[in-house]
Amino acid sequence: MKAIQLDGIEGLGSLKVVELERPRPGKNEVLIEVKAAGVNFAELEMTRGRYPAPRPLPTVMGFEASGIVAELGPGVASLRVGDRVTSLVSSGGYAEYATADAGSVIPIPEAISFEQASSITIQGLSAYTLLKFAARPQSDETVLIQAAAGGVGLFLVQLAKGMGVKKVIALASSKEKLDLVQNLGADVAINYSEPIWTTKVQAATNGKGVDVVLESVSGEIGNESFKLLAPFGRLILYGAQNAHDSLPNDKVRQLIYKNQSVVGFNFPSLSPQQIQASVAPLLELVRLGRLQLFARHAYALTDVEHAFQALSERRTIGKVVLVP
């Protein structure tokens, strides 16, 4: 089978198209014929040697995949060959076949495409659990969402409004993206590439600042977002970019004098019970039509470099997938 293998940490040049034997499912595992493999920023960080939990090299890339169950390993009784599923995978999703623990496999309805389903496994569940366990926004609060038109961001906008948040302020970088997040429920959509974007956020909060910042973007956008926190505000740090940042003294002083807090969030660190308990309510929102799934950018498996380039240059909306 064809697969994308990472041989080093020198960037995209370390990715290779290789021919490997089809993996065999072990005990309590299934083999998935991959129809769409999700592409994530954390995987781009792997190619640069910046992912917090590095894997031994060489390794087949890809944390997740959607497809059809092709084979059952010993002990699997909850699934059948032919089932349409999405899942975190154990053998690497950037391939024609991948193995997955049966306990992490999520059956998907016929109405959802494999590309759309790939947005659920990491990004959808990350957004849902981030709000539920880390941010915990209240109905009278204002929430600022960075990269609101990205894979996680689109879920955050919809879920935050669905949870009854008073005001959702969404940051995006183009008119197309701003229009989209507003259609999904954002109360205010602001182009963060404009020099006065922070002034617009302050105006939207009547000068009070925001109660919750959902920060996936470090650098200048992150620094300015931090300054926008209201007294007793909460900064939620998530995503691979933030794993390498540290809080300088001036930020620590602001936290103390404004009674603010910083909360870290890492989806893979959640317990299996926390993740499993979040699957059903998330899928129910999809079934009821209260949660739209976006997967507009599909690339051939062998076109992985272009997929990563589009993702890193923020030319994408929603989920990016590879199609074997």
Domain with residue 14: its CATH number is 3.90.180.10
Global model pTM greater than 0.75: yes
Q: Which residues are 321's β-sheet partners?
A: 38, 298
pLDDT tens-place string over residues 170-182: 999 999 999 999 9
Strands 167-172 and 59-60: unpaired
Q: Are residues 137 and 96 in the same domain?
A: no
Contacts of 149 (CB under 8 A, 6+ apart): 170, 172, 173, 177, 178, 180, 181, 317, 318
How does pLDDT run across 68-92, given as a tens digit for each residue?
Answer: 999 999 999 999 999 999 999 999 9
Question: In terms of domains, do 255 and 151 share one?
Answer: yes
Instruction: Provide the number of structural domains found in the chain.
Output: 2
Using alpha carbons, list the distances in angstroms from residue 154 to 93, 157, 236, 247: 23, 5, 17, 27
- Cβ neighbours of residue 189 closer than 8 Å, sequence gap 6 or more: 148, 169, 170, 172, 178, 179, 181, 182
- Do residues 127 and 219 share a domain? yes
Q: Are residues 151 and 248 in the same domain?
A: yes
Quick check: is 288 in a domain? no
Asked if residue 130 and residue 79 are part of one domain, the reply reads: no
- Domain end, chosen from 224, 249, 268, is at 268
| Claim to verify: residue 207 and residue 302 sit in the same structural domain | no
**CATH value at residue 164:** 3.40.50.720
CA 208 from centroid of its chain's CA atoms: 29
Q: Are residues 96 and 232 in the same domain?
A: no
Cα distance between residue 228 and residue 250, in whole Å? 14
pLDDT digits (tens, 9 = 90+) for 120-164: 999 999 999 999 999 999 999 999 999 999 999 999 999 999 999
Boundary of a domain, candidates 222, 252, 268: 268
Supply the range of the domain harboring residue 13.
2-113+295-323
Q: How far is CA 214 from the centre of its chain?
A: 13
Q: Do 227 and 311 sit in the same domain of this protein?
A: no
Calculate mean pLDDT across residues 206-218.
Answer: 93
Residue 279 lies in a domain: no
**Both 101 and 136 in a single domain?**
no
Question: Has residue 277 been placed in a domain?
Answer: no
